[in-house]
Chain A
Amino acid sequence: MATDRVSEPTPVLAIDKLEVSLFTRRGVLPAVDGLSLTVAAGETVAIVGESGCGKSLAALAVMRLLPEPPARIVGGAVRFLGRDLAALSDREMQRVRGKDISMIFQDPMTSLNPVVTVGDQLIEAIRRHTAVSRREAGDRAVELLRQVRIPDAERRLDDYPHQMSGGMSQRVMIAMAIACGPQLLIADEPTTALDVTVQAQILGLLKELQTESGMGLIIITHDLGVVAETADRVVVMYAGRKVEEARVGALFERPLHPYTRGLLGATPSAVRRRGGRLVEIAGSVPALSDLPVGCAFQNRCPDVFDRCRAARPALASLLPQQSVACFAVEEEVSRHAAAVGT
């Protein structure tokens, strides 16, 4: 991984071996187990995985918005422009949220306060971090609504959330998120709850805003179509661990990890069975309380062998700009290298 970056400025976000655990009645569950990833300015990183793989918890951990019982950060660091967010006090973190890092969530219809007007919620976000009068904040709010392509912006300020469609509500959420010019925006399943027709518009909007401001963008999704459209780099997670990371083109062209291949339906047998892309992988994600010894994917993996059941594969950069945690792939690559004589 060190070879990927020659001389780069401090990444906007550097998650370093983050560990988040859930303290439940059934025991302590490792929901995020040693996740590391970076996001550079102007870059879009997609985090992909099935629900329950820990991607949302990782994002909430960055924002320090974890549901405190039962979740807690138990290890690692989250460095934003060099500063470890996990070590900040509540007060200090409140100054970071909404201003330096923003987050939008999956269901925009329930993510806005139903008894306060859209305008007031926007103005609140603006005035929290910028010292402006209410009037100025109102003007800025209109500007923001125009920026996210909401028609008739001035009138919309007095609307209540229930008077808006899903797509429009999500635009309002985006407007609130970019109100103070954050350097990083985290979008947790931003289009999952929206109509297909609206999805493309929202994703397009996010990319545009990113280009205009140069902010880093993290998109969390389970939908590979979204990944293809928006990401520069992709991180694949499974059962709380990162199993593959690659540039988007490389991932789609030659996915290495069996799980990624399964997601993309690129295993030869899958291609034969159906011509489409997204296929179901047999079996289901193991419960966090029931993780097997060794690789978490072993019970669903077509390429599993004994080493997989004995130890956890570590992330290895087997190809330039692509790392994978899989013994089978390691063996395959070294066999290939030996054959080619490298």
Chain B
Amino acid sequence: MRRIVVRRLVQIIPLIFAVIVLNFVLIHLAPGSLFDVMTSEQQVTDPAMLDQLRRTYGVDQPTWVQLAKYIWAVMRLDLGFSYRQNAPVLQVIMEQLPATVILMLAATTIALLVGVTAGVVASVRVNTIWDNLISFGAVFFFAAPSFWLGIMMTVLFAVKLGWFPVGGMRTIGSGHGAFADALDVMHHLVLPATALGLFYAATYARVMRASMLEVFRLDFVRTARAKGLSSGRVIVAHVMRNALLPIITLLGLQLGTMLGGSVVIEAVFSWPGIGSLLFDSVMSRNLPMVLGVLVLGSLLVAVCNATVDLLYMRLDPRIRVR
């Protein structure tokens, strides 16, 4: 089993390699030379820093040498220097990454809980009012832009009802220990995570419903009933256990989109993650940071994809034995 894990993780390497090369190509599409880009058009003024950058990126050397040096730099986790924060790109990103991870985890949890439950209910009560309501809801949340949902939710729940804060991750000046802090973050997390997650909840609801309906017709469900199991147990232990498999696959495929979605949600809710960082960097033409987010974002997605693949293998014994 461990060999499979390692093999799957190793597959990430060529992918990231390709992203790095792509980065290099993109840099060359930008006006100015590689050096201009990496120094944010000479906004880096520290001469020692400039010198180091010249050495790292092989200024005035042929392109393929520059490419090799660039790849080597990124592999060493040197993503350049950001003038705006006056710190290495990698460091800034790592500081803001946890906030995005928390947001994505919360959004995925909401999406799975709401979506899977809705899909199961719709399939068990197929063609009734519940099914129609859920299907309608799914279509609605699938079509509504998540940032717009975020704004509307802010208007209703934060501005009008005052149940939740309008934005940010923490209330300033409320540092009363780890537990209180965690609760505070969760309180701030509700609206953005829900706004981000509902789109995926809609997808999962639709897929789960279809998957459940398909599994209902399979022979082993009849066997389970013939054993005298209660309908609840048949649905949970037998039908859902099989119907969830396509959802897991879907989960993997959606991660790249969700990371992109979090960029907009973070902008709407002033959530201090890499999405906000990216937005700020695009506005201030801070290209090293933008590219750094691209590389690390891709790495994050690749790792999550690999994890989901391995999880799927764990859950479906049929594809394990190779």
Residues of A near any B CB (own CB < 8 A) = 63, 65, 90-91, 94-99, 102-103, 105, 107, 110-116, 124-125, 128-129, 160, 162-163, 173, 176-177
Write 27 A-B pairs (CB below 8 A) sorted by A numbering: A65-B225, A94-B230, A94-B231, A95-B228, A96-B228, A99-B228, A102-B227, A110-B219, A111-B219, A111-B223, A112-B220, A113-B238, A113-B241, A113-B242, A114-B242, A114-B317, A115-B242, A115-B315, A115-B317, A115-B318, A124-B227, A124-B237, A128-B228, A160-B318, A162-B317, A173-B223, A177-B226
Picked from B224, B225, B230, the residue with its CB within 8 Å of the CB of A113 is B224
Min CB gap B283→A, angstroms: 49
Mark each residue of chain B from 211 to 242: 1 if its CB lies under 8 Å from any CB of chain A, else 0. 00000001110111111111100000110011
User: Which residue of B has the minimal Cβ distance to A60?
Assistant: B222
Cβ B220 vs Cβ A111 within 8 A:
yes
Residue of A nearest to B316 (CB): A115
- For chain B, give the interface size range: 20 to 34
- A176 partner residues in chain B, CB cutoff 8 A: 223, 227
CB contact between B227 and one of A91, A115, A116, A128 (< 8 Å): that residue: A128
Q: Is B321 an interface position by the 8 A CB rule?
A: yes
Is there an interface contact between B230 and A114, defined as CB atoms closer than 8 Å? no
- Docked complex: B263-322 residues within 8 A CB-CB of A: 315-318, 321
CB–CB A125/B222 < 8 A:
no
The docked-state distance in angstroms from the alpha carbon of A112 to that of B226 is 12
Q: Name B184-224 residues within 8 Å CB distance of A.
A: 218-220, 222-224
Docked Cα-Cα span, A97 to B231, in Å, equals 13
Residue of A with least CB distance to B242: A115
- B-chain residues with CB within 8 Å of residue A96 when the two chains form the complex: 228
A57, chain B: closest CB distance, angstroms: 13
Picked from A91, A105, A160, the residue with its CB within 8 Å of the CB of B223 is A105
Partner of B226, one of A63, A110, A129, A160: A63
A128 touching B241 by the CB < 8 A rule? no
Cβ distance B131 to chain A, nearest Cβ, rounded Å: 14
Q: A94 CA to B317 CA in the complex, in Å? A: 29
B217 (CB) vs chain A CBs: closest residue: A67
B318 contacts A114, C-beta separation under 8 Å = yes
B218 surroundings in chain A (CB, below 8 A): 110
Among B228, B241, B318, chain A packs the most CB atoms within 10 A around the CB of B228
Cα distance A49–B225 when bound, in Å? 26
Residues of chain A with a CB closer than 8 A to B225's CB: 65, 97
**Chain A residues near B316 (CB, 8 Å)?**
114-115
Complex Cα gap A176–B321 (Å): 26
Q: What is the chain A residue whose CB lies nearest that of B321?
A: A163
A103–B316 Cα gap in the complex (Å)? 27
- Known contacts A97-B227, A162-B317; A105 and B219 CB within 8 A of each other: yes
Q: Which residue of A lies closest to B244 (CB)?
A: A115
Name which of B226, B230, B245 has the most chain A CB atoms within 10 A of its CB.
Answer: B226
Give the contacting residue for B222; candidates A105, A162, A163; CB below 8 A: A105
